[in-house]
Amino acid sequence: MVAPKTNKELAFLHELFIATDWGERFAELIDEHVKLPKAGRALYVAAGTGGHAIALQERAGALQFVCLDENEESLELARVKASALKLATEFRQGKPDQLPFPDDQFDLVVADGSLVHSERMPRVIAELIRVAAPGATVAVALPTLSSFGEFFSIYWEALHNRGLLDHEADVESLITTLPAVSFLEELAGAAGLIEVASWTTIEEFAYESSEKFLNSPLIADFLTPIWLETLPADSEPEVVTELARLINEERHEAEFALTVKASLLLGRKELSQ
């Protein structure tokens, strides 16, 4: 494990390591199933360093994208890329579960929820629907129930082995907080989406050793801050050491695979009555 990074460091890590593999798996779902309007305004939430949003903007014709992310340093990188391509894409800082826009603003709303804490997703989805114009498409890509099972199993065992029995329930919470697709569909329908549909692909991320897994930017800087957030700081080193031992024991010289159920939820905002 590594020390927490600055927002600038996280932005560069996202650009170099996250968007080029992890992000592409979720972007492909959006590309396959989301039809771009020919004109109007589109919102891309949790755009990161903007790679996928800019790719959509390039083929969007008269559709104008507004991109939002929590990390201003990521947006700075996105602005540089958009400027080099002479695109008029707008970039704004903001939280995906507190969107800084009035109701009924956008003709398309897309979100990459792949690195957003699952606890925030119900509010995120409500916000995406709120700012969409009546009749607009709303789409969000995110990991769903049964993702990360290999890690959660080993994490529970590591906590047990280190005597942190009070935190075993934290693992159960991580597992159950990941939403089922059926729950997302019901949530979207209750919030005002019609013609709701979803698609799921099984994605696998393989690592040659526990060290490469635990020190990879995706795991160390983006996922474990979520997974280990309830762990006491002074217990983290011993738990990480035990995680490494268990992973190496589990893999038997083979690669350690992390499985993700990448899902896309899509619907159309109900027309005003």
Token pair of 17 as six digits? 């390591």
| Whole-structure pTM value | 0.95
The two beta strands, 256-269 and 193-207, are antiparallel
- pLDDT at position 273, please? 43
**Contact at 8 Å (CB) between 178 and 147?**
yes
Assess contact for 198 and 181: CB atoms under 8 A: yes
> Taking a C-beta distance cutoff of 8 angstroms, is the pair 83, 11 a contact?
no
First-to-final CA distance of the chain: 53
Q: Which CATH class is domain 7-269?
A: alpha beta
For the stretch 117-171, pLDDT in tens is 999 999 999 999 999 999 999 999 999 999 999 999 999 999 999 999 899 999 9
pLDDT tens per residue, range 72-117: 999 999 999 999 999 999 999 999 999 999 999 999 999 999 999 9
Dihedrals phi, psi of 250, to nearest 5 degrees = -70, -40
**Residues present in the chain in total:** 273
| Cα gap 149→165, rounded to integer Å | 19
**How far apart are the C-alpha atoms of 268 and 108, rounded to whole Å?**
9
Under the phi-then-psi rule, with left for phi > 0, alpha for psi from -120 to 50, and beta for the rest, what region is 15?
alpha
